[in-house]
């Protein structure tokens, strides 16, 4: 039987027929390939894109096609049956975690792709936790069922054990590895078998379930019905009385429990071989929420802690979240926005709640990767790109000026690695500054600062690959050639003891002098708590207008560091006393006093150095396990445990980033080119005293 593709081109579908979904996964699980198949089967593209051929729709950047990885999240709109699906394909590489974070913030549902042989990998866990943070209902797709070592049931168990989720198997695979040819739908009890048509558009649907899977199908169907019945009292009653439950009732109850994050439907297939993708598309429509299901979005009344609510309908007051900035060579700055409520017309003004400015939206674009379609107005539930806003940043709320709302912002991790960059010629200095600023506007995990002592420009990011791609983009897209230094680890400094300190700045001149005097208390905080400033001044010993001056001076001193010049973090500073002069006190005098107080205080507060520790997962053939563990230990690594999967061993460890430079090359030579690793930032830890001492002498 041929699968009919009904693709309506009318985007103004009812609210309950919109799905905003993201495809998320560990690197190399087949995420982009799955998205490409979805676009092909929904009629959005007429040719199947292939990563290996470098002609995918969603990986459109040169660097993505060359490296075969996704770098930026790409958005597209497509149709399946009478439903409109807005899809965001996100990167799997940890260096581009910001792309995943900001995409998840605006999605209503997610499809998590797993590799049938690799199971639940590290980055799968990371993206799963990110989806948990934003309470995103999701489906899972166990991909690569045709791969040697594919293990459907093992992966389902890992989803349960490693992710703490409740998977519910919706299809059972027919065959595996080179015999994989289809799936059995456990709700309709029909087998879907692909084979004759290489593109996978046509497949056979039959009531005859292959004999070799009949036992398993019966077992998993019974388990599925029990899991669904437990979420609905009326169905549970039927189930306990041994009555047959109609497929429609099962679907309805399952949909509710998926939206409540109780059950996670599991599908299977092989995107590369074009098998099993259509049932996944049906599941997106059947089980993932529409804006209508989610009903409302909560936010704060700007400047207060008062919660306000917006209904997710076009007739409500306008509100949207800018979740991504992209610099487009043709139209300039694009602000990607998810419209939560109301309607937005091109040519009108929006109010940026975060900056307090009004910005004109000159054009509204529907995006398909890097192609675009201009529209006159956009409605609640849509994901669009806006041309016009100049100052909007990632995470800003756009709203109706007369009815503002502050939506929850997006939080991003701090960079862990930096490098110095300088223009090849003096005339390129201005071009370099402009290019770095543009990239920093686009990417919230990319930071740029100037070290005034050395006059060097320092760029910082989430990993060596992250910085490498950005330097490459500057060269290709902006024509800026630069010299770059060796990557440097983003160390931080902190204190270990509580102390009190004083800063007094007095300068007498012929006319007005300068007078600033403050007393502060420094206390260590827990790892990752950052910096807190508390005003404990009583009785006006320092006038209120100079409190922020002291804070400014304190922050300036903390940014420069004391021990080795790295920023100071994880401490609380209380301003508890001081004095002022009626005539000579000024903003600058109190800034200098604040700086002096910090410099005086930290010297006796047990300064120490913190370094980024990476979570490391190394996969090696069994016979190289001892060698790999020995190498990790020699890098000050801490092995947490090992896990056996088929003929390889996965070593889990923590190791300092400073010791992992060039690790990929070393691992390849230790394992005859067969070892692979994955790492992501985990936390900061104190650097051993002997290493601090050696750093101070170099």
Query: CA torsion angle for 358, 362, 366, 370 (degrees, to 10)?
Result: -100
Strands (E), 235-389: 264-268, 296-300, 307-311, 319-328, 332-341, 343-345, 348-352, 357-361, 363-368, 371-375, 377-379, 383-387
- DSSP string of 637-651, one letter each residue: -EEEEEEEETTEEEE
Beta bridge partners of 400: 403
Confirm or deny that 145 is annotated as ligand binding. yes
Confirm or deny that 31 is annotated as ligand binding. yes
Q: For the beta carbon of residue 331, count every other beta carbon within 10 angstroms.
A: 16
- DSSP string of 313-330, one letter each residue: STTSPPEEEEEEEEEETT
| CA neighbor of 606 nearest in space, from 571, 575, 657, 574 | 571
Q: With contact defined as beta carbons under 8 Å apart, do 153 and 163 qualify? A: no
Confirm or deny that 517 is annotated as ligand binding. no
Q: With contact defined as beta carbons under 8 Å apart, do 667 and 628 qualify? A: yes
Confirm or deny that 25 is annotated as ligand binding. yes
Confirm or deny that 695 is annotated as ligand binding. no
Pairing of β 83-89 and β 18-25 = parallel
- Residue 485: which residues within 8 A CB-CB, separation 6 or more? 419, 420, 421, 456
Report the C-alpha gap between 43 and 197 in whole angstroms: 17
Confirm or deny that 55 is annotated as ligand binding. no
Instruction: List alpha helices for 6-164, DSSP H.
Output: 31-41, 62-67, 97-106, 122-133, 152-163
Confirm or deny that 675 is annotated as ligand binding. no
Name the packing angle between helices 122-133 and 152-163 (round to 10°): 50
Report the C-alpha gap between 266 and 141 in whole angstroms: 6
The alpha-carbon radius of gyration of the chain (Å, integer) is: 28
Confirm or deny that 32 is annotated as ligand binding. yes
Confirm or deny that 143 is annotated as ligand binding. yes
Confirm or deny that 196 is annotated as ligand binding. no
Q: What's 598-632 look like in SS3?
A: HHHHHCCCCCEEEEEEEEEEEEEEHHHHHHHHHHH
Confirm or deny that 626 is annotated as ligand binding. no
Confirm or deny that 176 is annotated as ligand binding. no
Report the C-alpha gap between 344 and 75 in whole angstroms: 19
- Residue 452: which residues within 8 A CB-CB, separation 6 or more? none
Confirm or deny that 91 is annotated as ligand binding. yes
C-alpha angle with apex 105: 103 to 106, nearest 5 degrees? 75
Give the phi and the psi of residue 20 in degrees, each rounded to 5: -105, 105
Name the packing angle between helices 247-259 and 277-287 (round to 10°): 70
Confirm or deny that 241 is annotated as ligand binding. no
Confirm or deny that 27 is annotated as ligand binding. yes
Pairing of β 648-656 and β 608-621 = antiparallel
Q: With contact defined as beta carbons under 8 Å apart, do 409 and 322 qualify? A: no
Report the C-alpha gap between 121 and 26 in whole angstroms: 7
- Residue 68: which residues within 8 A CB-CB, separation 6 or more? 51, 52, 54, 59
| CA neighbor of 153 nearest in space, from 139, 165, 167 | 167
Q: Which positions make up the binding site? A: 25-32, 89-93, 143-146
Q: Which positions make up the binding site for GTP? A: 25-32, 89-93, 143-146
């Amino acid at each position: 039987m041929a699968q009919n593709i009904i693709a309506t081109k009318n985007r103004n579908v009812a609210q309950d027929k919109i799905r905003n979904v993201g495809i998320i996964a560990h690197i190399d699980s087949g995420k982009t390939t799955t998205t490409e198949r979805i676009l092909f089967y929904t009629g959005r593209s007429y040719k199947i894109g292939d990563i290996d051929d470098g002609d995918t729709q969603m990986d459109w950047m040169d660097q993505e096609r060359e490296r075969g990885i996704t770098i930026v999240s790409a958005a597209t709109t497509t149709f399946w049956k009478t439903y409109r699906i807005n899809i965001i394909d996100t990167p799997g590489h940890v260096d581009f975690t910001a792309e995943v974070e900001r995409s998840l913030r605006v999605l209503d549902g997610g499809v998590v792709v797993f590799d049938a042989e690799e199971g639940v990998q590290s980055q799968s866990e990371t993206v799963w936790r990110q989806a948990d943070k934003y309470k995103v209902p999701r489906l899972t797709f166990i991909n690569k069922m045709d791969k040697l070592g594919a293990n459907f049931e093992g992966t389902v168990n890992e989803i349960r054990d490693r992710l703490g989720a409740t998977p519910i198997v919706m299809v059972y695979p027919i065959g595996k590895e080179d015999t994989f040819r289809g799936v059995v739908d456990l709700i309709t009890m029909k087998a879907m078998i692909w084979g004759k048509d290489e593109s996978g558009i046509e497949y056979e649907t039959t009531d005859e379930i292959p004999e070799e899977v009949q036992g398993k199908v019966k077992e998993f169907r019974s388990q599925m019905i029990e899991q669904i019945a437990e979420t609905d009292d009326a169905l549970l009653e039927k189930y306990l009385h041994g009555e047959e439950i109609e497929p429609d009732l099962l679907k309805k109850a399952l949909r509710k429990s998926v939206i409540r994050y109780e059950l996670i439907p599991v599908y299977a297939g092989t995107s590369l071989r074009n098998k099993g993708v259509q049932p996944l598309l049906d599941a997106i429509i059947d089980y993932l929420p529409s804006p209508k299901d989610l009903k409302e979005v909560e936010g704060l009344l700007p400047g207060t802690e008062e919660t306000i609510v917006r209904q997710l309908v076009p007739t409500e007051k306008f509100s949207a979240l800018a979740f991504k900035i992209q610099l487009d060579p043709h139209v300039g700055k694009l602000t990607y926005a998810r419209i939560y409520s109301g309607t937005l017309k091109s040519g009108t003004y929006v109010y940026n709640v975060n900056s307090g400015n009004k910005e004109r939206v000159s054009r509204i674009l529907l995006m398909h990767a890097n192609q675009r379609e201009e529209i006159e107005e956009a409605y609640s539930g849509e994901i669009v790109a806006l041309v016009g806003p100049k100052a909007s940043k990632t995470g800003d709320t756009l709203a109706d000026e007369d009815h503002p709302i502050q939506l929850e912002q997006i939080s991003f991790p701090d960079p862990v690695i930096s490098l110095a960059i300088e223009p090849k010629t003096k005339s390129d200095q201005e071009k370099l500054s402009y290019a770095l600023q543009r990239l920093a506007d686009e990417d919230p995990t990319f930071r740029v600062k100037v070290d005034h002592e050395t006059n060097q420009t320092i760029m910082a990011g989430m990993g060596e690959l992250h910085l490498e791609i950005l330097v490459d983009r500057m060269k290709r897209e902006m024509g800026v050639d630069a010299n770059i230094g060796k990557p440097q680890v983003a160390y931080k400094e902190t204190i270990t003891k509580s102390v009190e300190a004083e800063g007094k700045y007095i300068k007498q001149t012929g006319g007005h002098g300068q007078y600033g005097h403050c007393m502060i208390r420094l206390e260590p905080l827990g790892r990752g708590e950052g910096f807190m400033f508390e005003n404990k001044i009583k009785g006006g010993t320092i006038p209120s207008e100079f409190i922020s001056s002291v804070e400014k001076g304190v922050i300036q001193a903390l940014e420069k560091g004391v021990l080795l010049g790295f920023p100071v973090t994880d401490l609380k500073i209380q301003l508890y006393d001081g004095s002022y002069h009626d005539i000579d006190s000024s903003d600058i005098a109190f800034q200098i006093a604040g700086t002096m107080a910090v410099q005086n205080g930290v010297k006796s507060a047990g300064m120490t150095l913190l370094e980024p520790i990476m979570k490391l997962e190394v996969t090696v053939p069994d016979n190289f396990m001892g060698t790999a563990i020995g190498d990790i230990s020699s890098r000050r690594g801490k092995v947490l445990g090992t896990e056996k999967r088929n003929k390889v061993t996965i070593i889990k460890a923590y190791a300092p980033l400073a010791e992992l430079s060039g690790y990929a090359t070393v691992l390849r030579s230790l394992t005859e080119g067969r070892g692979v690793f994955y790492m992501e930032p985990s936390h900061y830890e104190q650097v051993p005293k002997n290493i601090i001492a050696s750093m101070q002498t170099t």
